[in-house]
Amino acid sequence: MKYRLFLFDLDDTLFDFSISNEWAFKRMLERIGVEVCAEDIFAEFLAIDTGLWKQFEQGLVTRDQLKVERFARTFARHDVRECAEHANALYVQGLAEHVALIDGALEVCQALAAVGEVGVITNGFDAVQRQRIRNAGLQDYISFVASSEVCGHAKPDKRLFDFAVIQAKEFSQDSTLIIGDRLDADILGGNNFSISSCWFNPSKAKNTSAIQPTYEIAHLRELLPLVQA
């Protein structure tokens, strides 16, 4: 087998984050007793949260600022009087409670762990991602988790990749593959680190960027024949 170390992104690669995200947000609203149109306020939150994550990856806001600001800004626009820090804690709790796997994720992790080593490289919150891995039943197949929270640097920063491969049992650039859904984080990060990359693109979106993956797949199971060739 050409590859022996597989670095997976989590959200929207192994986990269906859109399902967990909406459930966690609406569950948080229920817990704080807010009676508003959940769809409207969630759409507002989603836009704000996405923008803040991009700023975080560019080093423009801190992780602690992101956690609070996404709720403070959302609540301000809907006249919701609730502590943003409390709302964030409930929301994060919901993310860990309700985990939805992408089709094929368990099967692929199990197959790759049997022939190599599977690790996770994520910009998400460390404790939450570890709990989600356990709740999803993936803990037996994932050898290590490299999070930007612990490392201090986020994808596509090369330093997060350095931090990840230090945890691997064995590492060589030629036998390492990163799999992720984002060209600007996962694939660019892999390119910067001089390892092979696989763009998980289930919507079959057109790549109009200068970032080029080694492989492209629309379903996780398509990964197996590629790496076994």
Name the token pair of 3: 């590859």
Cα angle value 46/100/147 (rounded, 5°) = 70
Between the alpha carbon of residue 228 and those of residues 4, 223, 225, the distances in Å are 10, 9, 5
Active site residue 9: yes
Name the token pair of 146: 């490299």
Indicate the pairing of strand 144-147 with strand 5-8: unpaired
Radius of gyration of the chain, Cα coordinates, nearest whole angstrom: 18
Residue 140, SS3 per DSSP: coil
Compute the CA torsion angle 188, 129, 163, 161 (nearest 10 deg): -10
**Distance between CA atoms of 155 and 158, rounded to whole angstroms?**
7
Catalytic residues: 9
